[in-house]
Amino acid sequence: MSLKLLFDNIDEPGLGTLPVYERRGGYGMLRKALEMAPEDVLQNIIDSALRGRGGAGFRMGQKASFLPHGDMDKYLVCNADESEPGTFKDREIMQKNPHMLIEGIVIATWATGIHLAFIYIRGEYQLQAQILEAAIAEAQEAGYLGGNICGSRHFLKLVLHRGAGAYICGEETGLLDSLEGKRGNPRLKPPFPAIEGLYRGPTLINNVETLATVPSIIKMTGTEYAKVGTETSTGTKLVSVSGDVRRPGNYEIELGIPSRDIIYGLAGGPPEGREIKLWFPGGSSAPVLTKDDLDLAYDFDTLAKAGSMLGSGAIIVVDDTHTVLEVMWKVAKFYAHESCGKCVPCREGTNWTQKMIERIQAGEATPMDLDIMASVQEQIIGNCLCVLGDAMAMPIGSMVAKFRSELEAEIEAARERAGAGALEDVVGVL
Amino acid sequence: MSFDTPAPVPRFGHGSRVPGWDQAVDLTKPPATVPDPATTPVPEGLRAEIEAAMAKYPDRRSAAIPALHAAQNLHGWCSPEALEQVAAVMQLTPAYLTSVASFYDMLELTPRPKHDDVYVCTNISCSLRGADEVFEAMLAAASEYPDVHVTSFECLGACDIAPMASVNGEYVGPLEPDDAGRILEDLAAGRGVLEHKQLRYRRCADPEVAAPEDTR
């Protein structure tokens, strides 16, 4: 039995309500943190080496320590705009244990001297927003939010903000613009949000899972928490396994266990008689891996070394009954739809990649289109304000590179279906 | 567009994706200014809701999305009238609110009466498990129900119940094409949609976190 921090008793009836949460020791860690000096709380978070669970994997303690000290208006924003395809871990936390998130937020604001916090939840999460709203009211009533929290000098206002359906608002600066009531276009960085963020004030932005982990860090102390997992990927992580597996769902694992144990052990692997063709280790933005990579340890650094990323911890498994082209089309279509249109490489690159894939389906493509597609991906990466374009370019580029022969066969087959003439004739002309 | 029968792709000269991009603006029209609250009638409930939202933030503009949601709930869509009312309460121009509303998928700028929304997720995890068939079935079944709007939607964050749909915000899944009819019957009868498939009752998949009384 592995360590459960976030999913401890997650299915207990009524855990989302204050009495049950308190009976399970809830808000005890808040009391403990409030008795400590803010610097010590922050030091614990730094010692824990907790890496952001939203996708970038940046250390939370480091990010929090960038915030300037002093009495200016500072903000904490909890990023609950979970919309990376394949990711649904924050949903389970917010739906079943909202008070753990609130407790984490109050502790984090104490450590950083923040008195106004927002939870930006995606508009589609209606049930979860209702549950959070009720939990915030309960916490307010019980004195865990508001003034003189638990008799200390800390005070905090927590506002739940519902989005309205835009993937780009999960990007931290896009989220800030959206929270300010604008179109959710990303901003130029630097300045980073820790220096100039919401309403131009210093802003700490963290993912739901990251903040929900904070009470566990206070409970275990930072140095103890850092012993869980691997040296550079500490702690436990929720992984969302979906796609062609027998038991899709959220699982809490210690970072560093073999990926095979997650996909086959926990999620049951692909249905009888099928084999894994490819898998996304960290949401649909991650470069794909193949069945040869199943023995990689599931942690930030190992996956980065293998040319992919842990991202949000969403594993999407694709088995051999699906074509690579079909997966590419879905991925490209999604990013083309969600590109905000601010930067040209992303707006045009995602759009044309989708069209090039549709050309292949229509039997109008030649293998040269794959080269063009690969070069388009290279020209998107690193050339935009945010990483939405990269998020399409990386998986598409990796699929073109790793499954080139299958794609060439698909081009040939599609040409035949469309009666477009054999490739040799065209290649001869070119 | 179905995957199996792709339409030929128009290669050039098909212009931008945004309808109306090639139509000139009528420069003789005076620009719409911030509506005068004295002459713009706003339903009391809506006004109260928007004002409560504005009070939550240091900057009233932050309430734009909650205010537009509230107006859309009342009017069915972000009609010019709805935008005018929000603009009057928030003291913003209708153009600003249109720019916001046009950015977000859940805010509607095309006319339609009050309706039921069915968002069928057709993103990757759901489509691997047959979401495209569910979507087709849903579209076909809903063709007889003018009040039900079926839209294919990007990942709704419930890949554990793939293929799934959000029916007026209620997540249901895993769906089969046959469920389409039942969803519409439930909607027409005004009862909870596919109760046994609602996400809210689903247990965590992790086998090691079973609740005490659970003996899985």
Rounded to whole angstroms, the Cα distance separating B65 from B49 reads 12
Interchain proximity B212–A12, CB inside 8 Å = yes
Give the CA diameter of chain A.
Answer: 82
Q: In the listed set B36, B67, B101, which residue is the last one of a domain according to the structure?
A: B101
Packing angle of the helix pair A367-380, A404-418 (nearest 10 deg): 130
What is the predicted ipTM?
0.92
* pLDDT at residue number B113: 72
Interchain proximity B160–A240, CB inside 8 Å = yes
Which of B106, B122, B160 comes nearest A250 by C-beta? B160
Do residues B82 and B70 touch, judged by C-beta distance below 8 A? no
Please name each of the domains of chain A with its CATH number: 18-225 (3.40.50.11540), 236-319 (3.10.20.600), 324-429 (1.20.1440.230)
3-state percent breakdown (helix, strand, coil) of chain A, nearest 5: 50, 15, 40
* pLDDT at residue number B110: 86
Q: Is residue B86 part of a domain?
A: yes
Q: Is residue B184 part of a domain?
A: yes
Dihedral-angle region of residue B85 (phi above 0 means left; psi in -120 to 50 means alpha; beta otherwise)? alpha
Mutation for testing the A interface, residue in B124, B161, B198 having most A CBs under 10 Å? B124
Same domain, residue pair B136 and B197: yes
Residues of B in contact with A341 (CB under 8 A): none
Which of A122, A199, A318 comes nearest B59 by C-beta? A199
The parts of chain B modelled with pLDDT lower than 50 are 1-2, 9-17, 213-216
Which of B9, B64, B203 comes nearest A358 by C-beta? B9
Here the CATH number for the domain that contains residue B97 is: 1.10.10
Residue in chain A lying closest to B202 (CA):
A11
Residues of A in contact with B208 (CB under 8 A): 1-2, 4, 252
The parts of chain A modelled with pLDDT lower than 50 are none
* pLDDT at residue number B215: 40
DSSP state of B1: -
* pLDDT at residue number A349: 96
Rounded to whole angstroms, the Cα distance separating A255 from A380 reads 31
Q: Smallest CA–CA separation between B90 and chain A, in Å?
A: 11
* pLDDT at residue number B3: 55
How many contacts (CB atoms, under 8 Å) link A and B? 196
Q: Is residue B87 part of a domain?
A: yes
Interchain proximity A334–B63, CB inside 8 Å = no
Interchain proximity B159–A316, CB inside 8 Å = yes
Q: Is residue B21 part of a domain?
A: no
Structural domain that includes position B49: 44-101
End-to-end CA distance of chain B: 42
* pLDDT at residue number B15: 44
Interchain proximity B159–A1, CB inside 8 Å = no
Among A172, A166, A178, A234, CA closest to A203: A172
Same domain, residue pair B96 and B121: no
* pLDDT at residue number A309: 96
Residues of A in contact with B170 (CB under 8 A): 126-127
Q: Is residue B139 part of a domain?
A: yes
Count of beta carbons in the 10 Å neighbourhood of residue B94: 20
| pTM of the model as a whole | 0.93
Sign (positive or negative) of CA dihedral A214, A220, A223, A226: negative
Flag whether residue A251 sits within 8 Å of chain B, measured between CB atoms.
yes
Same domain, residue pair B93 and B168: no
Interchain proximity B100–A9, CB inside 8 Å = no
Residues 6 or more apart in contact with residue A32 via CB below 8 angstroms: A218, A219
Residues of B in contact with A284 (CB under 8 A): 123-124, 155
Rounded to whole angstroms, the Cα distance separating B179 from A131 reads 27
According to DSSP, the β-strands at A203-207 and A157-162 are: unpaired
Flag whether residue B198 sits within 8 Å of chain A, measured between CB atoms.
no
